Amino acid sequence: MTIVELGLPKRLVEFTVDGQAVSVPEGATILDACSAVGKEIPTLCYGDTLKPANACRVCMVEVEGSRTLVPSCSRKAEPGMVVHTDSERTRTSRKVVLELLGSATDLSTTPGVAEWMAEAGADPERFGPPAPPSDDRDDALPGEHEPVDGLTAATVRQPVKVDNALYVRDYGKCILCYKCVDACGDQWQNSFAISVAGRGFGARISTEFSTPLPDSACVYCGNCVEVCPTGALSFKAEHDKREDGTWDESAQTETTTVCTFCGVGCNLTLHVQDNEIVKVTSPHDSSVTHGNLCIKGRFGWQHVQNT
């Protein structure tokens, strides 16, 4: 007997994107449809293993008949929809969104964003020079706001948090996309070590009472780092190499193998530079891990290179 699981049959939905007819299975999003026809839509908060958070507003597209622009990452395709990804409204929206993100946040380690900025003609500098880093951002109470003088651009800059041997949290790079919170919470890890604290521009990702990670509920699975789009969360090994200028992605290979610890069989992608494992990720399409690992899989590789 041979059984191949086919899943439930799905109807196809037909609509147009920039005048091009596309058809996708029912339930697919506009972003899925664009990917299917090779049309790249920039996005930061979209996660292939996560439910859409609709947070970054970079992927907004125009749907005829809709009063506002819609986020392509979560809006499901409907029959007969007429979608524009490159209209004046979408271009203006993307330019302003990128300028606001770029003025408030350090996007220097965000892949792709420099090209998107250039393409959109975004100028994050136009709001003035960035305000200096704040030491007490974590202490802000909801509703508390410093009066602004308009001379500098408000930023989320704050000192880098290095409070353990495995992760570094550089919240000056955080765009509040919620992906780390979702990965730590009920979508995958169920540890609930981090959440969004504060309101408005004072909102930030925080542990409970902003304690250092070692005193929090964190179990160091690294699943938040896996999904972080900007490098706000990074592994200490990577952070240190970036700091001393030896991090070189162009010289790295990525090889997928299987974890050496328990018998679950998690897929690990080893990032190797100069015959040294420098980072471990997991393929998001693995039926075993869906991109998630535990502390041993994520960090337990050092023993092979202790020589």
Partner 1 sequence: MKRRKDTTPYTRLTEPLVRDSGVLRPATWEEALDRAAAGFRRTLDTKGPEGFGMFSCARSTNEMNYVAQKFTRAVMGTNNVDSCNRTCHAPSVAGLARVFDSGGGTSSYAEIEDSDVIVIWGGNPREAHPIFFQHVLKAVHKGAKLFVVDPRQTSTAKWAHRQLQLEVGTDIPLANAIAREIIHSGLANTTFIERATEGYEEFAASVEPWTLEVAEQVTKVPAELIKELAHTYARADRGQMSWTLGITEHHNGTDNVLSLINLSLLAGQVGRYGAGLNPLRGQNNVQGGGDMGAIPDRMPGFQDILDPAVRAKFDEAWGSHIPPYKGKNLTQMLEAMEDGLITCVYVIGENPVQSEADCEHTIKRLSNIEHLVVQDIFLTKTAQLADVVLPASAAWCESDGTFTNSERRVQRVRKAVNPPAGARDDIEVISELARRLGHDWHYSGDDGREVWDELRSLSPIHTGMSYERLEELGGIQWPCYSEDTLEPSFLHARLWAEDPAERGRPAPFTVLRHSPPVDVLDDEFPLRLTTGRRLDSYNTGVQSGGFPSPRRRGETLDLCSADAAQLGVVEDEMVQISSRRGAIVAPVRIDEGLRPGLAFMTFHFPDEVDVNVITIEATDPVAGTAEYKAAAIRVDKLSSGGPGGLAPRLGSGARPQKTQFDAVAG
CA–CA dist 39, 85 (Å, integer) = 9
In angstroms, give the least distance from the CB of 295 to partner 1.
5
Span interacting with partner 1, options 65-73, 75-83, 225-233, 289-297, rule CB under 8 A: 289-297
**Could you tell me how many residues of this chain bind partner 1 (CB under 8 A)?**
57
Query: Is residue 276 within the footprint of partner 1 (CB under 8 A)?
Result: yes
- What single-letter DSSP state applies at residue 90? H
- Of 28-36, 85-93, 109-117, 295-303: span binding partner 1 (CB under 8 A): 295-303
Residues 175-212 as b/e (b if ≥16 CB within 10 A, e otherwise) read bbbbbbbbbbbebbbebebbeebbeeebebbbbeeeee
Give the C-alpha separation, 107 to 181, whole Å. 20
Q: Which residues inside 2-31 make contact with partner 1, applying CB under 8 A?
A: 2-5
Q: x/- string (CB under 8 A) for partner 1, residues 234-263?
A: -------------------x-xxxxxxxxx
Q: What is the nearest approach in angstroms of partner 1 to the Cβ of residue 91?
A: 39
**Burial of 234 per CB tally in 10 Å (0-12, 13-18, 19+):** buried
- Interaction between residue 303 and partner 1 (CB under 8 A): yes
C-beta of 20 vs 257, nearer to partner 1: 257
The reply on whether position 219 binds partner 1 by CB under 8 A is: yes
Is 67 a binder of partner 1 (CB under 8 A)?
A: no
Question: Quick count: other Cβ atoms within 10 Å of Cβ 240?
Answer: 15
Take residue 222 and report the two structure tokens written for it: 């690294």
